Amino acid sequence: MKTAAIYARVSSDKQREENTIASQTAALIAFAGEQQFEVPREWIFEDDGYSGASLIRPGLERVRDLAAEGLIQALLVYAPDRLSRRYAHQILLIEELARAGVETVFIRAPRGSTPEDELLVQFQGMIAEYERAQILERSRRGKRHRAHQGEVSVLSGAPFGYRFIRKTDHSAAYYQIDEEQARVVRRIFELYSIQGLSIGAVARRLNEQAIPTCKQRGRWERSTVWGMLRNPAYKGQACFGKTMLAPRQRITRPIRMRGGVAPRNSASHERPREDWITIAVPPIVSEEIFALAQERLEANKIYAPRRTITPSIVQGLVSCAKCGYALYRTSTRSSAWRSSAGYGSASSTCSSASTCCARASTCPKCRSSRSSMPTRRASCDRRRR
């Protein structure tokens, strides 16, 4: 009697709710009994809600580990598309298991080893991959159509200040204002737009007052406040399709030094504003207050003291000898450290802060001691050029 493992997978919440993975497992257990396969209970693996386009799945990882350890002789799967939606991944997994002496058995596919049977399995894999592409395209078109109709359900979640009320049989999905969080949102816009505080000062004020974040833990970060100030949902215009996935254009220096590459379509890019689809939601701040915030954000791009859009002569060429991060140009209030008028690189310095440069006592480039460096220079450039 061969020792086998069972693998089942569903990719969507709807399939999970319909309990289709349980039906797969039941069919596979019955098949194992009929074909005299011994399947220990702990070797029944189910991946609930994992896409078949990715090989990174906890159940599948455990199956591959068992095969590599030589503990199983067969793997029982309901159909080829349950193993993977991509034909190339199917072949990769089947060959990997075969090299480990593991037979892959599909109960919804031919079991013979003739060229015709193998060809049919290959056709099923290609059809599954085509079907996945069709599902993605239909889903994309359907979401865009619902967004044009003003349906909030395509947004799937709500930003800080709102509650997302899911669709029911009697009502469509909608945003409901959370008054406690909405007061915080109005306070942020007031501090930034009316009182003229910087984004960093706003974040510090919120942390000093111990105002809870959306997750009720952690600290307010400048990036969070910046994102809230830019979100048009707060003026009553939530937007769908604001970003898109695209190939990463800039490979960071540490990755380049290791000879690595970035995964495809791993960068999120903001779409042009004219491509955003607006959906009406209850406003938290007035359009006037929101417009003032946008004016300040645009002005910051031009007049911020740490603005580094204008390239310097050594931009991207000088890096820290300890951590590998690129040095960056900045300015400080101290006259002793003010950058020269001609070249921003005059103040390009890598701090030896506790989180960078391997805790060096001096910067490997400027040889300045840790104690003499201004606090505003307390971190290396995280934008790895």
> What's the CA gap between 344 and 348, in Å, rounded?
7
List, for the chain, all residue ranges whose pLDDT scores fall below the cut of 70: 12-19, 109-113, 117-118, 121, 125, 246-267, 304-312, 315-316, 328-385
For residue 57, what are its two tokens? 């799945």
Local structure of 99: helix, strand or coil: helix
In a domain, 144, yes or no: no
> Does one domain contain both 169 and 229?
yes
Say yes or no: 314 and 219 in one domain.
no
pLDDT of residue 267: 63
Query: Is the residue at 185 inside a domain?
Result: yes
- Structural domain range at position 354: 305-385
Task: For residue 247, tell me if it sits in a domain.
Answer: yes
pTM: 0.53
* Domain assignment of residue 137, yes or no: no
pLDDT of residue 275: 84
Q: Which residue has the tokens 């049977």?
A: 117
* Amino acid 159: pLDDT: 92
Whether 234 and 119 map to the same domain: the answer is: no
39 and 120 assigned to the same domain: yes
Residue 181 and residue 247 in one domain = no
Q: Of 108, 131, 154, which residue constitutes the final position of a domain?
A: 131
Say what the pLDDT of residue 263 is: 53
Question: What would the DSSP string read from start to end of 193-251?
Answer: IIS---HHHHHHHHHHTT---TTSSS---HHHHHHHHH-GGGGTEEEE--EEEE-----
In this prediction, residue 51 carries a pLDDT of 81
Q: CA 133 from chain center: how many Å?
A: 21
Res 113: pLDDT:
62
Count of domains observed in the chain: 4
Q: Among residues 293, 277, 79, 267, which one has the least CA distance to residue 193?
A: 293
Q: What is the pLDDT of residues 342-363, one digit of tens each?
A: 333 333 344 433 333 333 333 4
Same-domain check for residues 172 and 283 = yes
Same domain, 292 and 319: no
In a domain, 330, yes or no: yes
* Claim to verify: residue 175 and residue 101 sit in the same structural domain: no
> For position 76, what pLDDT does the model report?
94
In a domain, 73, yes or no: yes
- Same domain for 200 and 127: no
Distance of alpha carbon 5 from alpha carbon 75, whole angstroms: 5
Verify that 48 and 29 share a domain, yes or no.
Answer: yes
Q: Residue 102 domain-assigned?
A: yes
